[in-house]
Amino acid sequence: MSHLRQSDPQVAELIQQESRRQASVLRLIPSENYASPAVMEATGSVLTNKYSEGYPFRRYYQGQEFIDLIEDIALKRARELFGAEHANVQPYSGSPANMAVYLGLLKPHDRVLGMDLAAGGHLTHGAKVSFSGKFYEVRQYGLSRSTGLVDYEAARAMAREFQPKLIFTGASSYPRTIDFSIFRQIADEVGAYLVADISHISGLCISGDHPHPLPHADVVTTTTHKLLRGPRGGMILCRGELAPKIDKAVFPGLQGGPHNHVTAAIAVALGEAARPDFTEYCHQVVRNAQALAQGLTDQGCQLVTGGTDNHLVLIDATPLGHTGKSLAVALERAGIVANANKIPFDPRPAEEPSGVRLGTPALTTRGMREAQMAQVAAFIGQVARDAGNATVLETVRGQVAELCAGFPAPGVAV
Ligand code: DSN
């Protein structure tokens, strides 16, 4: 960063400090990861200088001979990796990708059925505070109170009664497998589009650790920076016949010029995800999440649904004598970074919810395995028990730094 240091030492220094933070703490937010150095190089390239409104070989600006080839590579890799008929890699992130689906397939105030944010869904699946809950008529399905699993039959009954034009499946905080085939049946019964937002689990769908949303879903959306380890971006995959609607919704419906540097980095990340070591990485993410879940249970933590099938674990902090927020704050003091999150049927508000959400993608990228997950669980148990004891938190922080030093974070210069 020699140029940045010279031109803007203040920002350079803050980036350097963030690098040190990312290297020296345990990053357990399940939607975060470490992008590879190759992905970072593409993201920081001269492609940021170019406008390219339109799609490959059909642009509104000249000078696209290299940009077209780059986006074409990204599209081809996306189609091949997910077995999709059509791909669009231009959405700026996951929420704009979902917004483009609404814009492409619906008219304002059409009916949408999506998973409740409080049950682990996403803002863009119909939450009142989001565009999706404001511009569309929405009903929200959730979880079974007895099992904590998606209540498919309640969703089916709701769909029959409400007759939505589009059904969203997918979640941001759900530790179990989603059965896309049941949602396909429900969508067929009411004549709705089925959209699977696999932002959290896209890697697991590629590696076979989670059932694939295709061919069940008409449209699949995903971010590119979570398990996929790409740059911050979004992607839409769909059946060929929906391609014109989706592409027109992204551009010119919603966005202007694509972020070409991000497109190139997505191409790189998709190339990396096609390699066998990525499949092994995803298998390990799940093994690590299950080892973390077991370790936390051994430490006396109560987990939503008792464990996990995927990359994430949700602790109910209440039996530990915490709110999710108070536990997340104490964990951060000890160098363990997670996020406070609602648990199913949470009596507490979103600002001070009952749960803490943890995930293993970033630690697995550092090369940590089951033995380290047991250590991490022991740290978390210690912090939960002694959250008010600054000396204990400081001691754990030192142990965390020692553990992290043995597993260098790829692409993070310190
Ligand atoms: N904000 C993302 C997450 O943390 O899960 C979802 O979009």
Mean pLDDT for each consecutive 10-residue tract of the chain (414 residues)? 96 97 98 97 98 98 98 98 98 98 98 97 97 98 96 98 98 98 98 98 98 98 98 98 98 98 98 98 98 98 98 98 98 98 95 97 98 98 98 98 96 84
Same domain for 246 and 297: no
Cα separation, 18 vs 15, in Å, equals: 5
Domain boundary among 249, 273, 297: 273
Domain boundary among 254, 273, 292: 273
Same domain for 373 and 324: yes
Same domain for 240 and 217: yes
Same domain for 22 and 54: no
Instruction: Report pLDDT for 411.
Output: 87
- Give the mutation target among 31, 32, 228 for probing the ligand 1 site: most ligand atoms within 8 A of CB: 31
Q: Is 325 helix (H, G, I), strand (E, B) or coil?
A: helix
DSSP 319: G
Residue 401 phi, psi dihedral angles, 5° rounding: -60, -40
Residue 58: other Cβ atoms inside 10 A = 9
Residue 278 in tokens = 């990525």
Cα separation, 297 vs 329, in Å, equals: 21
CA of 303 to the centre of ligand 1 (A): 20
CA of 117 to the centre of ligand 1 (A): 11
CA atoms 336, 337, 339, 344: torsion sign? negative
Task: Report whether residue 122 contacts ligand 1, using a CB cutoff of 6 Å.
Answer: yes
* Bridge partner residues of 137 (DSSP): 111
Q: Are 348 and 366 spatial neighbours (Cβ–Cβ below 8 Å)? A: no
Q: Where are the beta strands (DSSP E) in 19-124?
A: 26-27, 54-55, 58-59, 86-88, 111-115
- The CATH number of whichever domain residue 133 belongs to comes to 3.40.640.10
Please indicate whether residue 174 is annotated as part of the active site. no
Same domain for 370 and 238: no
- Pairing mode of beta strands 219-223, 339-341: unpaired
What total of structural domains would you count in the chain? 2
CA of 336 to the centre of ligand 1 (A): 18
Query: Read out DSSP for 362-384?
Result: HHHHTT--HHHHHHHHHHHHHHH
Of the candidates 322, 338, 314, the one whose C-alpha atom is nearest the C-alpha of residue 388 is 322
CA of 356 to the centre of ligand 1 (A): 14
Three-class secondary structure assignment of 268-291? HHHHHHCCHHHHHHHHHHHHHHHH
Ligand 1 atom closest to the Cα of residue 95 is 7
- Which helix (H) or strand (E) covers residue 332, if one does? helix 324-333
Give a yes or no: residue 410 inside a domain: no
Give a yes or no: residue 279 inside a domain: no
Give a yes or no: residue 238 inside a domain: yes
Cα separation, 227 vs 203, in Å, equals: 5
Please indicate whether residue 232 is annotated as part of the active site. yes
Same domain for 340 and 217: no
Domain around 318: 14-30+284-405
Q: Is 156 helix (H, G, I), strand (E, B) or coil?
A: helix
Give a yes or no: residue 245 inside a domain: yes
Q: Which member of 222, 223, 308, 360 is catalytic?
A: 223
Of the candidates 233, 195, 221, 229, the one whose C-alpha atom is nearest the C-alpha of residue 90 is 233
Exposure letters 15-40 (e unless 16+ CB within 10 A, then b) = ebeebeebbbbbbbbbbbbbbbeebb
Same domain for 44 and 26: no
Give a yes or no: residue 187 inside a domain: yes
Cα separation, 381 vs 391, in Å, equals: 15
Instruction: Report pLDDT for 413.
Output: 79
Cα separation, 78 vs 324, in Å, equals: 37
Three-class secondary structure assignment of 157-223? HHHHHHCCCEEEECCCCCCCCCCHHHHHHHHHHHCCEEEEECCCCHHHHHHCCCCCCCCCCCEEEEE
Same domain for 182 and 101: yes
DSSP 143: B
Q: Are 28 and 361 spatial neighbours (Cβ–Cβ below 8 Å)? A: no
Q: Is 405 helix (H, G, I), strand (E, B) or coil?
A: helix
Cα separation, 216 vs 196, in Å, equals: 9
Task: Report whether residue 170 contacts ligand 1, using a CB cutoff of 6 Å.
Answer: no
Task: Report whether residue 121 contacts ligand 1, using a CB cutoff of 6 Å.
Answer: no
Query: Read out DSSP for 220-272?
Result: EEEESSSTT---S-EEEEE-GGGHHHHHHIIIIII-SS--HHHHHHHHHHHHH
Residue nearest to atom 6 of ligand 1 (CA): 172
Give a yes or no: residue 4 inside a domain: no
Q: Which member of 79, 139, 232, 369 is catalytic?
A: 232
DSSP 401: H
Ligand 1 atom closest to the Cα of residue 123 is 7
Same domain for 213 and 81: yes
Same domain for 389 and 296: yes
Instruction: Report pLDDT for 115.
Output: 98
Residue nearest to atom 4 of ligand 1 (CA): 31
Domain boundary among 253, 273, 293: 273
Q: Which member of 41, 53, 85, 179 is catalytic?
A: 53
Same domain for 95 and 144: yes
Instruction: Report pLDDT for 157.
Output: 98
Cα separation, 219 vs 201, in Å, equals: 15
- The CATH number of whichever domain residue 310 belongs to comes to 3.90.1150.10
Give a yes or no: residue 330 inside a domain: yes
Task: Report whether residue 31 contacts ligand 1, using a CB cutoff of 6 Å.
Answer: yes
Same domain for 59 and 25: no
Give a yes or no: residue 2 inside a domain: no
